[in-house]
Amino acid sequence: MNLFKIVTKNMRQRALATTLTGISVALAVALTVAIVHIKRGMQQRFEQSTLGYEMVIGAKGSPLQLVLNTVFNLDISPGNIPWTLVEKLQADRRVKAAVPFSVGDNYRGFRIIGTTGAFGETFGYKLAEGRWFTCSIEALRDAFKEALEHSQERIAKEKGDAPAKPAAHHHNAAEAVIGATVAQETGLRVGQKFIAAHGVEVSPNAEEHTDNPWTITGILAPTGTAVDRGLYINLDSFYHIEGHEVRDAPKDNDPDPGQVSAIALKLRSPIHAFPIYREINDGEEAMAAFPAVEVRKLFAIVGNIDRILLAQAILIGLVAGVAIAVSIYNSMSERRREIAILRALGARRGTIFAIVVLEAVAICAAGAVAGVAGGHLIVMVANAALRHVSGFTVAPLTMEVAELWVVAGSVALGALAGIGPAWRAYRTEVAENLAPTS
Amino acid sequence: MNDAVLSLREVRKSYREADGNRLDVIQVGQFELAAGDQIALVGSSGSGKSTLLNLIAGILLPDAGVVCVNGTDITQLPEAKRDRFRAGNIGYVFQSFNLLQGFTALENVRLGQMFGNGTGDAVELLKKVDLAHRLHHKPRALSVGEQQRVAIARALVNAPALVLADEPTGSLDAANGTAVLELLRQVCTEGRHTLLMVTHDPAVMRHFERVVRLEELR
């Protein structure tokens, strides 16, 4: 026989009250754990995704939108920027790599991103199987010319003029390397073909590019980033698709009609970051943004919502603590005789105090443990929604240090809740409570 | 100090009544019990018998006087030490058994052992009071006679020098009462425990060679 056995017996005797108050603690802990876990997990995923993307450049507008679109395959592209900027940056001695991206299509909701072979090399993405697509600058220039001719043809048709006969162009094969999640969820394998739908989101009315199927040449190893959810195609194949001609009214002497959605930069040294950032933003044709900074800003905004949710969870916890205190305090009237018997058997006042506090602590601790399990269950269930909203999921079974603090906090709450009833038990008079009450 | 197991000297206890006057409940001049003594302390209802037992057990403190158990003046001990002393040196059997309802017979006995740091064998004691087949039954599943036998086992589990019994047969029928009384006397004799039983029942008094009226203690 020991104190814990006495506490367990007391809890069993008050099974309903113990269960209900334990559930309220579990609810508070589950919410707290889920909020902390999802926030940390998402922040880690977002920060992990920005690794290597020192700076992104795109059309002027919202820097966050540009970063979300370029790095996380979320939101819509803020617009296009001229291809000449890609070449200019690639020629800049301060820039180690300038990787262009063009977006606008999807396959079953997964975004299709046109880029060059520099993409994998620059950011260190490894192939799990197959090979990278083929993309040459010559093929790209040819694709731009074709895109320009398509634009001119469309404009002439609109004006009622006889369209010029488009020149014959050599096309590289339309090839794609797909992310690990895409392969897993769609079942696409190396050697298979797929057809893209227009637009970055799934739409029942979306036009399908049935004349331009892509052949999968490789599947990327999992990265835990947004890259897992992308289909990467050779950039020139992007401009062979009708509707991807890049300007409504190209100028006659335009040396380069090409446009891209964004450019990701890798610099030779961090000291070049701010000069390039200023140069781009001072100009009129594009805007630069630091992904890491934008992600921090995003989570600072999300953090406020997060804090409100956490405050709610803590409030539920406090209410649960009060409920425990009230429940045990009220039970003291019925338990006065039991306390007197224990005292008569030799239990000290301090022992009685400890039994009552331990009971409150045990309810909170049991609720906290159940809550931690419940919190992870919420994360598992929420993963489907998270994937839909952000493209990321959070590992539901990893433990956060914060969870230990939540459990410790719950135990402290229990101890606090137990003090009032324990004091009442402490003061119970033995002699006058030994006889049964009628 | 002699070798008395229980020694009371000039013990006084009074309560303040609603009108502010003090009511003297206990007035004991000199009273001693030696090891192995078994006596019945007799008094009418409300005469203060239970109060006297609570004073001897250290549950209540007298307004004045000395209460020595096994050579220790328990009135001089701080409360926590007095509680521990009681657990180890005094066994208490109540009229209403005072078993904890959520605990089995064996657990109730072990509760007594826990606070007294006793090393006695709770199972053996329950066998001795003929409850070997009821070890894991809760009080509600036991007859009143069986419940009182559990209470006797609990009182003896720490091998106390002094056993106090407050009308232990008061809630039992005649047959059960006699059986419990004989059992209590027998185990106290075997263990050389000093037994002080308070009663107002003449049938119970007849079992004791020494009967003391409360008024005689003044």
The string of pLDDT tens digits covering residues B160-201 is: 999 999 988 887 788 888 888 888 888 889 888 999 999 888
Would an 8 Å CB–CB cutoff place A435 in contact with chain B?
Answer: yes
Q: Is residue A201 pLDDT above 70, yes or no? A: no
Judgement on whether residues A284 and A416 belong to the same structural domain of the protein: no
**Per-residue model confidence (pLDDT) at position A270:** 87
Residue A25 lies in a domain: yes
**Per-residue model confidence (pLDDT) at position A131:** 93
Residue B105 lies in a domain: yes
CA distance A419 to chain B (A): 20
Q: How many domains does chain A have?
A: 2
Tell me the mean pLDDT in the region B100-108.
92
Do the Cβ atoms of B57 and B164 come closer than 8 Å? Answer: yes
**Per-residue model confidence (pLDDT) at position A55:** 92
**Per-residue model confidence (pLDDT) at position A145:** 75
For residues A352 and A5, give the distance between their C-alpha atoms in angstroms, rounded to a whole number.
13
Do the Cβ atoms of A132 and A177 come closer than 8 Å? Answer: yes
Lowest mean pLDDT among A46-55, A159-168, B84-93: A159-168
Residue A361 lies in a domain: yes
Judgement on whether residues A223 and A312 belong to the same structural domain of the protein: no
Interface of B with A in 121-160 (CB under 8 A): 154
Q: Does the distance separating the beta carbons of B98 and A337 come in below 8 Å?
A: yes
For residues B68 and B9, give the distance between their C-alpha atoms in angstroms, rounded to a whole number.
9
Range of B58's domain?
Answer: 35-63+78-217
Judgement on whether residues A186 and A285 belong to the same structural domain of the protein: yes
Residue B133 lies in a domain: yes
The CATH number for B104's domain is 3.40.50.300
Tell me the mean pLDDT in the region A225-230.
86
Q: Does the distance separating the beta carbons of A346 and B84 come in below 8 Å?
A: yes
Per-residue pLDDT band at A233 (split at 50, 70, 90): very high
Q: Is residue A218 pLDDT above 90, yes or no? A: yes
Per-residue pLDDT band at A246 (split at 50, 70, 90): low
Interface of B with A in 161-180 (CB under 8 A): none
Number of CB pairs < 8 Å for A and B? 69
Would an 8 Å CB–CB cutoff place A431 in contact with chain B?
Answer: yes
Judgement on whether residues A185 and A67 belong to the same structural domain of the protein: yes
CA distance B200 to chain A (A): 17
Per-residue pLDDT band at A96 (split at 50, 70, 90): very high
Per-residue pLDDT band at B62 (split at 50, 70, 90): very high
Show which of A289, A317, A347 is a domain's final residue.
A289
Q: Is residue B55 pLDDT above 80, yes or no? A: yes
Tell me the mean pLDDT in the region A247-264.
66
Per-residue pLDDT band at B40 (split at 50, 70, 90): very high
Lowest mean pLDDT among A120-134, A236-250, B76-90: A236-250
Q: What letter does residue A2 receive in the DSSP assignment?
A: -
Range of A10's domain?
Answer: 3-45+302-433
Judgement on whether residues A145 and A195 belong to the same structural domain of the protein: yes
Q: Is residue B215 pLDDT above 70, yes or no? A: yes
Per-residue pLDDT band at B1 (split at 50, 70, 90): very low
Residue B206 lies in a domain: yes
Judgement on whether residues A383 and A282 belong to the same structural domain of the protein: no
**Per-residue model confidence (pLDDT) at position A434:** 81
Q: Which residues of B touch A344 (CB under 8 A)?
A: 57, 59, 86, 92, 98
**Per-residue model confidence (pLDDT) at position A245:** 57
Judgement on whether residues A284 and A152 belong to the same structural domain of the protein: yes
What element of type H or E holds A15?
helix A15-50
Judgement on whether residues A306 and A275 belong to the same structural domain of the protein: no
For residues B4 and B191, give the distance between their C-alpha atoms in angstroms, rounded to a whole number.
16
What is the percent of chain A with per-residue pLDDT over 90, rounded to a whole number? 31
Please provide the average confidence, as pLDDT, over all residues in chain A.
84
Residue B19 lies in a domain: no
- Residue A323's CB is within 10 A of a number of other CB atoms, namely 17
For residues B11 and B15, give the distance between their C-alpha atoms in angstroms, rounded to a whole number.
14
Q: Is residue A274 pLDDT above 50, yes or no? A: yes
For residues A431 and B59, give the distance between their C-alpha atoms in angstroms, rounded to a whole number.
7
**Per-residue model confidence (pLDDT) at position B201:** 83
Would an 8 Å CB–CB cutoff place B2 in contact with chain A?
Answer: no
Residue whose structure tokens are 């331009």: A212
Residue B5 lies in a domain: no
Residue B120 lies in a domain: yes
Residue A296 lies in a domain: no
Q: Does the distance separating the beta carbons of B83 and A347 come in below 8 Å?
A: yes
Judgement on whether residues A256 and A190 belong to the same structural domain of the protein: yes
Among chain B residues, the shortest Cα distance to A433 is held by B98
Q: Does the distance separating the beta carbons of A341 and B100 come in below 8 Å?
A: yes
Interface of B with A in 43-72 (CB under 8 A): 51, 54, 57, 59-60
Question: DSSP letter string over B81-144?
Answer: HHHHHHHHHEEEE-TT----TTS-HHHHHHHHHHHHT----HHHHHHHTT-GGGTT--GGGS-H
Q: Which of A1, A435, A436 sits opposite B107 (nearest CB)?
A: A1
Would an 8 Å CB–CB cutoff place A427 in contact with chain B?
Answer: no
Q: Exposure string (b/e) for A235-258, b if CB count within 10 Å is 16 or more?
A: bbbbbbbeebbbbeebeeeeeebb
Torsion of CA A300, A306, A311, A312, to 10 degrees: 160
**Per-residue model confidence (pLDDT) at position A167:** 59
Do the Cβ atoms of A144 and A150 come closer than 8 Å? Answer: no
Q: Does the distance separating the beta carbons of B98 and A434 come in below 8 Å?
A: yes
Q: Is residue A209 pLDDT above 70, yes or no? A: no
Per-residue pLDDT band at B109 (split at 50, 70, 90): very high
At A108-133, the pLDDT tens digits run: 888 999 998 888 888 889 999 999 98
Judgement on whether residues A346 and A390 belong to the same structural domain of the protein: yes
Q: Which of B60, B94, B116 sits opposite A346 (nearest CB)?
A: B116
For residues A15 and A414, give the distance between their C-alpha atoms in angstroms, rounded to a whole number.
17
At A410-428, the pLDDT tens digits run: 899 899 989 999 999 898 8
Q: Does the distance separating the beta carbons of B101 and A431 come in below 8 Å?
A: no
Q: How many domains does chain B have?
A: 1
Per-residue pLDDT band at A242 (split at 50, 70, 90): low
Q: Does the distance separating the beta carbons of A436 and B96 come in below 8 Å?
A: yes
Judgement on whether residues A269 and A317 belong to the same structural domain of the protein: no
Residue B4 lies in a domain: no
Per-residue pLDDT band at A98 (split at 50, 70, 90): very high
Would an 8 Å CB–CB cutoff place A408 in contact with chain B?
Answer: no
What is the percent of chain A with per-residue pLDDT over 70, rounded to a whole number? 89
Return the higher-pLDDT residue of A51 and A377: A377
Show which of A260, A289, A318 is a domain's final residue.
A289
Judgement on whether residues A315 and A202 belong to the same structural domain of the protein: no
Q: What letter does residue B60 receive in the DSSP assignment?
A: S
* Closest by Cα among A25, A12, A121, A108 to A409: A25
At A143-185, the pLDDT tens digits run: 777 777 777 777 777 777 666 665 556 666 889 999 998 998 8
**Per-residue model confidence (pLDDT) at position A262:** 92
**Per-residue model confidence (pLDDT) at position A207:** 67
Residue A117 lies in a domain: yes
Q: Does the distance separating the beta carbons of A436 and B102 come in below 8 Å?
A: no
Bridge partners (DSSP) listed for residue A208: A197
Please provide the average confidence, as pLDDT, over all residues in chain B.
88
Bridge-based pairing of strands A110-115 and A127-130 is unpaired
